[in-house]
Amino acid sequence: MSTDTINITLKVWRQKNAADKGRFETIPVSGVDSHMSFLEMLDTVNEKLILEGKDPIAFDNDCREGICGTCGCVVDGIPHGPNKAMTLCQLHMRKFDEGDVIAVEPWRSRAFKVLKDLMVDRGAFDRIIQSGGYVSVNTGSAPDANALPIPMAVAEKAMDAAACIGCGACVAACPNASAMLFVSAKVSQLALLPQGRPEAAERALKMVATMDREGFGNCSNHRSCEAACPKEISIVNIARLNREFFKAGVLSEPI
C-alpha cells in the first residue's frame, strides 16, 4: 500500500530524434506525492532536470482528462500503464510502491517514428482518417435529429466505436504493430449509421490501403489491442471492418 510520498527510480527512454539510437536513462525520484498523476510526476522530474541544467524529458500531453488521446507511452511494458481502461494522464502514483523501478518508453512501431524521448509522430493516424474517415453531406441548416430513425442498439454500437480517441495504445500493444482496432473503430462508427452507407465501400478500401502504406502490421487476433485500449474498443469492430472490406472488394472498382 502506497504512503503519501514514495521514492522511486525511473528508467526513461531518452532519444534526441528519429536518427538517434536512444538509450534508457536512470533517474532517482524522491518524495513523489502519491496523489500526483503520472504526468504531474514527470512535470516535477522535468523541473528538477531543468534546474540542474539538463534536458527535460519530452512527452506528449494536452487535456489530461483522458479525452484527447495525445498522451501515451509504455509503462513497465504496458501501454498507458497498469490500470485498465485509463489513459496515461489518468494513472496516479498511488498505483506504485516505495522503491519501485518504473520503466517508461515510447510507443514502438515502424509507423510511429520517435520524435524525441517519449514523443512519437502519430501523423499516420491522421492520414488514415483523411483518406476516408468522414461523410460527405450537403451544407445548410441542421437537420431534425429524428429525420433518420436509428434503432437504439445500432446507435449504441456506433457510439461505442466513436469512443476511440486515436491514442495509438492498440498499435503499441500489438505484437505486429497493427492499427486494425483504430481503423475498424473509425470505419464502424460510420458504417453502422445511414449517413455513412453511401461511401462505405470507398471508405473501407481507402482507409485499409492507407493503413498498409503507412507500415502497420496485420491483425493476428492476439487481442492485445483490446486489452490495452483505454476506451475498451471491442475487436468485434475488426470483424466488421473485414466484412466491409470484403464487400467493397467484391462490389467496387479498385482504388
- Residue 249 CB-half CA count within 13 A: 9
Total residues found in the chain within this entry: 255
Instruction: Return the percentage of the chain with pLDDT > 90, whole number.
Output: 89
3-state secondary structure 56-97: CCCCCCCCCCCCCCCCCCEECCEECCCCCCCCHHHCEHHHCC
pLDDT confidence of residue 250: 84
Neighbours of 193 (CB within 10 A): 19
CA separation for the pair 5, 131 (Å, rounded): 48
Residue with cell 473503430: 185
What local confidence, expressed as pLDDT, does residue 205 receive? 96
Per-residue model confidence as pLDDT tens digits over 76-91: 999 999 999 999 999 9
Contacts (Cβ under 8 Å, ≥6 apart) of 79: 72, 73, 107, 169, 172, 173, 228
**Among 205, 194, 216, 214, which residue's Cα sits nearest to residue 247?**
205
Residues of the chain with pLDDT under 50: 1-2, 255
Using the structure block, give the residue that is written with the C-alpha cell 474517415.
133
Per-residue pLDDT, 141: 75
pLDDT at residue 253, rounded to an integer:
58
Amino acid 201: pLDDT: 94
Domains of the chain by start residue, with CATH? 5-113 (3.10.20.30), 122-136+144-251 (1.10.1060.10)
Q: Closest Cα partner for 180 from 79, 115, 116, 111?
A: 111
The pLDDT assigned to 136 comes to 86
Element (H, E) at 113: strand 113-116
- H or E element in which residue 153 lies: helix 152-162
Position 40 scores a pLDDT of: 97
Q: Are strands 5-14 and 23-33 parallel, antiparallel or unpaired?
A: antiparallel
Report the pLDDT value the prediction gives residue 2, as an integer from 0 to 100. 46
